[in-house]
Chain A
């Protein structure tokens, strides 16, 4: 579904990704961990062309998104993305946040979009908050709306970038539970997180990044219990 081949990315002189190879298959839940600045967010942002890359190839369902002839707007419709800072549209209610893209991008009618949006809000446990504006919702609620908003485009895969890092501890679980349900439903997911419990329980593969490369990858439980690399061991020692 997602294939990265020797991806290099730099900001000016700063090399952030130095040759990433990764293949994510259907219904896989790939959990990405690594120290701050190791390039996790950048890798995720490259996957839906929010950042251009300097070298390598990124294929989404076989389509090369680094090819300038590719319509990235089309490809992005297949990829849902959820951000650490929620990025809900503050001038729109929860319901309207979820409805906007289906109406404008997929050309759905208002009724159709609203039906889908209400379904999704119910799925993330927010049916009674549909009319609320982002600033009237808690962080956990906002993040669940953001997940519903991404799901409204019926994506084939979802990218999560530290989506619980900005949340108060007591709100983390409600968001992780929504993500867990999604994973159980067969969604293909790439999840950057420091929640090792989630990685162990839900992840089908764990990836440890450092310095712009993938240092180690493997089965989450095994890797957490017996990391092969020193750097992985050190990092796990800090977060566990």
Chain B
């Protein structure tokens, strides 16, 4: 028991580590905010491309999504930072050399855009096609119908699964430590080396969990609330379901 406390919950080391980690948290938040904004915007664009009338556009977006869903984020980060960096310094194409934070944001964005596009696509497709038709029959363009009618309804549906993406992204920011981003895990490992004791990892774990657990609870609550609210919608969709589905271009 003493050993356990000494190596994993060493009070003095914990006390020294926390201020360090709180500062590193700023970097985590930076990765998170930028990664979220860029990946959601890009993901929304990808989802609209996948629902496009034009086959080549659908195909490009589909290939992108499959590729980045299949790729380990760690490999992508390594490629962006070390791989491109190496080529950049060898060939003199300096723009290929990225600092750790931009490299991490780029990697998170590329992967998470693929994940979130699947969520957006499912959300948009869950809106009954009668909504789009009603909007188009009023003279709205495809873009206006999406913007004012379909997307506002889809957003409500995608909030719970996007919350889960956020949780996953918080954890995945720790992968950026491999490309020397001075974020939480990176600082904790650094400290571990200095004190020759794994307690800093415990401290990092505590910080992560303090952030993720409330979000996990929130996501669960949003999901059950939505499950309840869905029922009246489903009833009207059933009525509409008796109509032949108009799958043609609207």
Contacts and interface: CB of A to CB of B under 8 A. Distances in A.
B228 to A, nearest CB: 13
Interface stretch (A72-80, A117-125, A195-203): A72-80
A45 interface: yes
Nearest to A89: B149
Contacts of A27: none
Interface in B228-246: 232-233, 236, 239-240, 242-244, 246
A45 B141 CA distance: 17
Interface residues of B, number: 30
Contacts of B144: 104-105
A101 interface: yes
Interface in A41-74: 41-42, 45, 48, 50-52, 73-74
A87 B140 contact: no
A85 B239 contact: yes
B136 interface: yes
B138 A50 contact: no
Contacts of A146: 134
B236 A101 contact: no
A100 interface: yes
B248 A83 contact: no
Contacts of A73: 136, 139-141
A17 interface: no
Contacts of B83: none
Contacts of A149: 138
A91 B140 CA distance: 17
Interface string A75-116: 011011101111111110000000011001100000000000
A166 B238 CA distance: 11
A135 interface: yes
A214 interface: no
Contact of B134 (A77, A87, A91): A87
B193 interface: no
Nearest to A9: B248
Given A45-B246, A85-B236, A91-B153, A76 B138 contact: yes
A164 B233 CA distance: 19
B139 A74 contact: yes
B175 to A, nearest CB: 38
Interface residues of A, number: 33
B138 A87 contact: no
B180 interface: no
Contacts of A86: 236
Interface string B155-166: 010000000000
Contacts of A48: 137
A150 interface: yes
B231 to A, nearest CB: 10
A50 B243 contact: no
B139 A50 contact: no
A48 B138 CA distance: 10
A85 B249 contact: no
A153 interface: yes
B243 A85 contact: yes
A84 B244 CA distance: 11
A89 B127 CA distance: 11
Interface of A: 41-42, 45, 48, 50-52, 73-74, 76-77, 79-81, 83-91, 100-101, 104-105, 135, 146, 149-150, 153, 166
28 contacts: A50-B246, A50-B248, A51-B248, A76-B136, A81-B134, A83-B130, A83-B134, A84-B240, A85-B128, A85-B239, A85-B240, A86-B236, A87-B128, A87-B131, A87-B134, A88-B134, A89-B135, A89-B153, A91-B152, A100-B138, A100-B149, A104-B140, A105-B138, A105-B144, A150-B138, A153-B139, A166-B239, A166-B242
Given A87-B131, A101-B139, 16 more contacts: A41-B244, A50-B133, A50-B250, A52-B248, A76-B138, A76-B139, A83-B133, A83-B243, A84-B242, A85-B240, A85-B243, A100-B148, A100-B149, A104-B144, A105-B144, A166-B239
Interface of B: 128, 130-131, 133-141, 144, 148-149, 152-153, 156, 232-233, 236, 239-240, 242-244, 246, 248-250
